[in-house]
Structure 1
Amino acid sequence: MKAFYLLQTLGTVAVILVMIIVWGVPLAPTLLFYEWLTEIFSSSNKWVDALYTGLSLSSSVIFYCFSLLLFSSLLQFVLHIRIKEKSVFPLASFTTIRWAFCGQIIRATQPILQHFVPSFVSNLYYRICGAKIGKKTQINTHRLNDPCLIRIDDGCVVGGGATFNGHLVEKGEIVFAPIHMKAGSLVGAGATVQPGVTIGENAVIASHGLIPKYRTIPQNEVWGGLPARIIQSSSERREMNS
């Protein structure tokens, strides 16, 4: 038990250090940007000067947000695990440590990221982190927790607050399994997609549904519930749409 508490304490210290780095480094260019703005925009009138200061501060906040997203995504690009199929590692492994650092980096970024979904900004962020995202895809969530294990094809929609997890812990080991959304599929708001799931073309996961690990959802079907079960078959959907 003492060893566990020692490990927990060291882990907490490591998390704090990661947060200091992730939040602190982007502040450096932001401070320089703010100083540059205040040098350009100044006035002897206190009301005008107050307006300039307010606009400079708000502009600097936006600048910081973009700096944080860029720095966070580049860190994950360097550190993220390169896995293309289901893989199992001991909890005490270098791969697990790399994954844990990436997880903390993305958690430190999520409070900012949530304000940029859905947009090209969040899609670009996820791509740099290692996710494969197709064209005309809308991702309205900041909870793609393992971007490097996620592939989302063309024309997909991920609803607000949906959660994707590409990992789980079983029997003292950590398991990584990629998630694949095929073209035209949809995951509803608040749904949860577990490791190793494949969602077929034009399939739909209803809001707040839970797709268990390693499940394959056939194309054109509608699934929902906790855990998710088939609600509407592909033939029934064709009949309704005809």
Structure 2
Amino acid sequence: MVNLNEVSLFAGAILLYIIGSFIIAISLIPSYFLFMQFLKTGNLFLILFGFAFSYFVFGIVLMFVVALLVRLFRIRLMPGTYKIGGKESLIWLLNAGFISLVRFLFLPFTRSSINILFYRLLGAKIGKNVIINTTCVYDAHLLEIGDNSVIGGDAAIIGHSAEGNKLIVAPVKIGKNVSIGQYTTVLPGAVIEDGAIIGAMSLVPKFKRVKKGVWGGVPIRRIK
């Protein structure tokens, strides 16, 4: 017997690969013509420099193309509970897939300021003097981070959770002067209040409210 959920997800994956290929191709056009100008010089140093610079241009263009596509066509989910296999889960799949193009092809080679620019383009509300040392930010349009907060390396900020045949989507709010350690995972619906410090390799459960203080563990608990 054919499983309609599996068929719809498979169709969504095929659509994602097709559209993703077009996105990459479009983003490569400026870089291609730029690199050809360096190639014409015949100077090895300039050619190598041109390759690196053209790659950077590709990444920037890719960022804007993906953000424009996601926002223009509203390829993102608002908070709620959805059925996996329904049209909403396909929208989420496309959103995650398009953003992954930037996440894997460009963000690992950039500074925090570039990451923040991309997340803001997607709709994240990010304050001043924020440092984000991770590319593992999902559902950025549901993310809010206050001033002077730090997200450690490879921490994961996630605005969705797949449970059985349900997809739960909820915002993540991180206050001011918050520190989140390396490899920590923050799940959907979490609210981390101003001044909270969360140790490395911790887990902030769904819909957990974390007050000011020092926290750590799996799941987190107050240390002091």
TM surpasses 0.5: yes
Q: Does 1:194 align with 2:195?
A: no
What residue in structure 2 maps to residue 180 of structure 1?
Answer: 173
SS in 2 for 1:17: helix
Distance 1:154 1:125 in 2: 17
Structure 2 CA distance for partners of 1:172 and 1:9, relative to 1, 3 Å? closer
What residue in structure 1 maps to residue 18 of structure 2?
Answer: 17
Structure 2 CA distance for partners of 1:147 and 1:201, relative to 1, 3 Å? same
Distance 1:8 1:94 in 2: 9
Larger radius of gyration: 1
The one-character-per-residue Cα deviations of 1:113-133 (angstroms, maximum 9, x if unpaired) are: 122142x21111100011110
Deviation of 1:2 after TM superposition, in Å, equals 3.3
What residue in structure 2 maps to residue 203 of structure 1?
Answer: 196
What residue in structure 1 maps to residue 45 of structure 2?
Answer: 51
Unaligned runs of 5+ in 2: none
Runs of 4+ in 1 over 6 A off after TM superposition: none
Q: 1:125-204 counterparts in 2 under 5 A?
A: 125-204=118-197
Unaligned runs of 5+ in 1: 44-48, 233-242
What residue in structure 2 maps to residue 235 of structure 1?
Answer: none
What residue in structure 1 maps to residue 76 of structure 2?
Answer: 81
Is the Cα contact below 8 Å between 2:134 and 2:153 reproduced in 1?
Answer: yes
Is the Cα contact below 8 Å between 1:117 and 1:142 reproduced in 2?
Answer: no
Is the Cα contact below 8 Å between 1:198 and 1:216 reproduced in 2?
Answer: yes
What residue in structure 1 maps to residue 109 of structure 2?
Answer: 115
SS in 2 for 1:148: helix
Please give the root-mean-square deviation of Cα atoms over the aligned residues, in Å.
Answer: 2.0
Is the Cα contact below 8 Å between 1:80 and 1:130 reproduced in 2?
Answer: no
Distance 1:144 1:77 in 2: 17
Q: What count of residue pairs does the alignment treat as equivalent?
A: 221
Distance 2:168 2:116 in 1: 26
The one-character-per-residue Cα deviations of 1:89-125 (angstroms, maximum 9, x if unpaired) are: 233443332221110111122121122142x211111
AA aligned to 1:229 is R
Structure 2 CA distance for partners of 1:117 and 1:59, relative to 1, 3 Å? closer
The one-character-per-residue Cα deviations of 1:146-194 (angstroms, maximum 9, x if unpaired) are: 1011100111100000001101123522211100001111111100000
SS in 2 for 1:160: coil
Distance 2:161 2:55 in 1: 36
Distance 1:76 1:117 in 2: 23
Q: Does 1:65 align with 2:59?
A: yes
Structure 2 CA distance for partners of 1:95 and 1:2, relative to 1, 3 Å? closer
What residue in structure 2 maps to residue 231 of structure 1?
Answer: 223
The percent of aligned pairs where both chains have the same amino acid is: 24
Q: Which moved more, 1:122-131 or 1:169-178?
A: 169-178
Deviation of 1:38 after TM superposition, in Å, equals 3.8
Deviation of 1:82 after TM superposition, in Å, equals 6.1
Q: If the length of structure 1 is used for normalisation, what is the TM-score?
A: 0.83
Structure 2 CA distance for partners of 1:8 and 1:97, relative to 1, 3 Å? closer
Distance 1:196 1:80 in 2: 20
What residue in structure 2 maps to residue 238 of structure 1?
Answer: none
